[in-house]
Structure 1
């Protein structure tokens, strides 16, 4: 009997609509197999942007740390789990969706958080990364206790990232980076506005027969991450590998000042690294 009950519970967390979360979009409107069709389809935007960003940031990652690719590899999983969640509205889909976002943030913290802002008891990035790992594991386990609080916790992390970014931008005089920061914050505000409006003003949007704001959140947040992570990576490159003379460009055309931002390394990296090491170490 105990084994049957356990199996039944496990099956339940994978069941359609087993999650307590239900977004504003009408359920099963376009397919009997997909609960929230537009929210599911908009999650595929992750699969478009992530491979492009992996390609664009490869020169920087190759020089700095190949582990940086983990951010956009994991963003592909965020898109996969988001699509699964909105297709089923299952409890397991919700947890996979939210926890994948948590781990993207954790990887970003471990790789990019400025060394000058480390807690006083942390002496190097390896120690800081282990600290972030332990906190993330504890948060992951704790999230199963109160799943509905996960989204709000994640947005709090986002606010802290914005604060840390603001602290770093005070030291930056590059006007192209300043412009990128404004675009990053603007996209994040637009994305979070869609999320909040869909969550708390659903009845208003239902009267207008426009219940797709959570889908637009997916699109705007991917772009916000592309802009924000590139800006953070650029600041990191200036701090950690200044000999490479990092610069900012936009793909597919830099003259447009729109599109997907990425880092170009203008310096001779091997020679520059040797000179930088000899000078400062």
Structure 2
């Protein structure tokens, strides 16, 4: 618990001190960016409340069309889907007393949504930092969850190893914060996030192949999880490659970047639920090993220890029958 609270304090410190202070100091140098990435040959020159734009990228949606107070209306509104799903997971996590790591992951999910809404609503340099940096922080937390999926030792028993992982994650987050707030590398950031997401998917599939995780209910969630990411990526790509055609030829722009947000939100939701499911089975499997260490080994049946309920088509872990014990929790 203490290590998780420490991570949260560091992330909050990073967001509200390094990002705000550094970005505020560099806003003047970004007041007229010359290397802004656009997706149309004719630049969008609409003026609104947050003009001039100081971000290094301007997405396909036309600026200040719906209201002068929101630069990209649909991209901004769709970002709140991440906040809603993240808040539901966080509240359910508090109620069911899940491990702190999953609460942090849900909070990161919420921060990504808020940052995305801020970015698309303002198209400012600070908004871009509020969007992109929480994505990196969330992936660091997610990687910690994946690599500690089957770990049960307390911190005091493996202090050196745990400290190395925590220090590396914190250092990586701070380093990326400092560098990225000074120079918003569009392509480098996108490639960086792509590798982090792809690596996490490979790791999650590897964890699923372990016998005590290998059940149909998790397999179904994983298939939909990957399918949603592919759908989101297709929307993201088409929105960029066919931007000018959709804005000029057709009067109806499908706002595919907004759909990228929605598909991405459901994708992240399923990922966290899948992580919770695997972690619960890891804990139950460990308890089963301890219980049967001095008696004839009884086969572990993961289907008996995982209960999933669905609300409005979304899966959630049912902890009413399978409560995690304090002895097997790991910080």
Q: TM-score, normalised by structure 2?
A: 0.69
Unaligned runs of 5+ in 1: 1-5
Residues 1:153 and 2:192 are matched in the alignment: yes
Residues 1:96 and 2:96 are matched in the alignment: no
Which residue is equivalent to 2:229? 188
> Using the alignment, how far apart are the partners of 1:150 and 1:265 within structure 2?
41
> Using the alignment, how far apart are the partners of 1:216 and 1:141 within structure 2?
31
> Using the alignment, how far apart are the partners of 2:239 and 2:61 within structure 1?
9
Residues 1:27 and 2:63 are matched in the alignment: yes
Cα deviations by residue, 1:103-156 (Å, 9 ceiling, x for unpaired): 111112223324679xxxx97444322222222222222223343132331122
Which residue is equivalent to 2:295? none
Alpha-carbon RMSD: 3.0
> Using the alignment, how far apart are the partners of 2:279 and 2:321 within structure 1?
15
The SS at the match of 2:214 is: coil
Tell whether the 8 Å contact from 1:56 to 1:262 is kept in structure 2 after alignment: no
Which residue is equivalent to 2:100? 66
> Using the alignment, how far apart are the partners of 1:7 and 1:179 within structure 2?
46
> Using the alignment, how far apart are the partners of 1:211 and 1:169 within structure 2?
36
Which residue is equivalent to 1:247? 306
Which residue is equivalent to 2:117? 83
Select 1:259's aligned residue among 314, 317, 320: 314
> Using the alignment, how far apart are the partners of 2:149 and 2:108 within structure 1?
24
Q: Which one has a larger percent helix, Structure 1 or Structure 2?
A: 1
Cα deviations by residue, 1:225-276 (Å, 9 ceiling, x for unpaired): 01011112221222245449752413327xxxx3243353634655xx77x8
Residues 1:217 and 2:260 are matched in the alignment: yes
Query: Alpha-carbon deviation of 1:158?
Result: 0.6
The SS at the match of 1:43 is: helix
Q: Which stretch of structure 1 is more off in the superposition, 260-269 or 83-92?
A: 260-269
Cα deviations by residue, 1:54-104 (Å, 9 ceiling, x for unpaired): 1233366x25x2242111122222222111111111111111100011111
Query: Alpha-carbon deviation of 1:223?
Result: 0.6
> Using the alignment, how far apart are the partners of 1:134 and 1:179 within structure 2?
36
Cα distance change, pair 131–196 in 1 and its aligned pair in 2 (3 A): same
Which residue is equivalent to 2:174? 137
Tell whether the 8 Å contact from 1:198 to 1:213 is kept in structure 2 after alignment: yes
Q: TM-score, normalised by structure 1?
A: 0.80
Tell whether the 8 Å contact from 2:104 to 2:141 is kept in structure 1 after alignment: yes
Residues 1:45 and 2:88 are matched in the alignment: no
Select 2:219's aligned residue among 178, 200, 203: 178
The SS at the match of 1:247 is: coil
Cα distance change, pair 8–123 in 1 and its aligned pair in 2 (3 A): closer
The SS at the match of 2:77 is: helix
> Using the alignment, how far apart are the partners of 1:170 and 1:230 within structure 2?
17
Residues 1:237 and 2:275 are matched in the alignment: no
Cα distance change, pair 32–150 in 1 and its aligned pair in 2 (3 A): same
Residues 1:202 and 2:243 are matched in the alignment: yes
